[in-house]
Amino acid sequence: MFDKLNKLISEKHFKIMQNTHILLVGIGGVGGYAFEALVRSGIGKITIIDHDVIDITNLNRQIITNQENINQKKIAEAKKRALEINPGCEIITHDLFLDESNIDEIFKDKFDYIIDACDTITTKVLLVKKAQELNIKLISCMGTGNRLDPSKVMITKLNKTYNDPLAKVMRKLLKDNNLKTNINVVWSSELPIKTRDRKPSSIILVPSVAGIYAASYIINDILKTDL
């Protein structure tokens, strides 16, 4: 299934990708597309963490969802979809909400990269802390809600972001916890659209691109490896 990919990259780099283990936290609008891209690119081992079930409101933007799997666990449906695409990919699932009580147990396993695609800011900070403690490359996804323009999505350092309320809070919390703020992030320079609802609204356009960018950060980083 990887004939066309192998024409684009070296056999040695492809073997590195097959031996890479990625931790992906959050398998929703952003995380689902990151997961899809990793699975279709030959990443050999992916651990996914999510404690949510599929809701009908997820259908407008989350790639793992359909009319038949509403109310099913997201991690179970994500794994099923992944193995139907690439049965050679090892998928490890954890049906839990990642926090201080269980993060040490998760990190007993060894990861080469971390994708933070979760919504909870305390979990995001915990992941940054672990990544910096263990020297694991991480990319964290900032806000994609209330935005319409996918061309505004990009990868940069957290301390270079603007127009993103989530990124602003993250910068403060990382500083408060004596953590580095020059972490890699996927973010949008588009100002969030104001709505009457305090909960963010979303359309497929921006979260999907953010997820692809998160996966591309890892894949392109592997391809930079000296052989």
Tens digit of each residue's pLDDT (9 = 90 or more) over 48-64 = 999 999 999 999 999 99
Instruction: Read off the pLDDT band of 227 (50, 70, 90).
Output: confident
User: Which of 3.40.50.720, 3.40.30.10, 3.40.50.2300, 3.40.630.30 is the CATH number of 3-223?
Assistant: 3.40.50.720
Question: 42: which residues sit within 8 A by CB, 6+ positions away?
Answer: 2, 5, 14, 17, 18, 86
Q: Beta partners for 22?
A: 46, 113
Tens digit of each residue's pLDDT (9 = 90 or more) over 21-57 = 999 999 999 999 999 999 999 999 999 999 999 999 9
Instruction: Read off the pTM.
Output: 0.97
Question: 103: which residues sit within 8 A by CB, 6+ positions away?
Answer: 126, 130
Nearest-angstrom CA–CA distance, 171 and 138: 15
Which sequence spans correspond to the domains of the chain? 3-223
- Which is nearest to 157 in space by CA: 174, 177, 133, 176? 174
Token couple for 112: 């080469």
Instruction: Read off the pLDDT band of 70 (50, 70, 90).
Output: very high
What pLDDT score does 206 carry? 98
What pLDDT score does 199 carry? 84
> Within 10 Å of residue 171's Cβ, how many Cβ atoms?
16
Instruction: Read off the pLDDT band of 65 (50, 70, 90).
Output: very high
Nearest-angstrom CA–CA distance, 222 and 15: 10
Nearest-angstrom CA–CA distance, 19 and 208: 26
Question: 192: which residues sit within 8 A by CB, 6+ positions away?
Answer: 143, 145, 146, 147, 163, 165, 200
Tens digit of each residue's pLDDT (9 = 90 or more) over 192-220 = 999 888 888 999 999 999 999 999 999 99
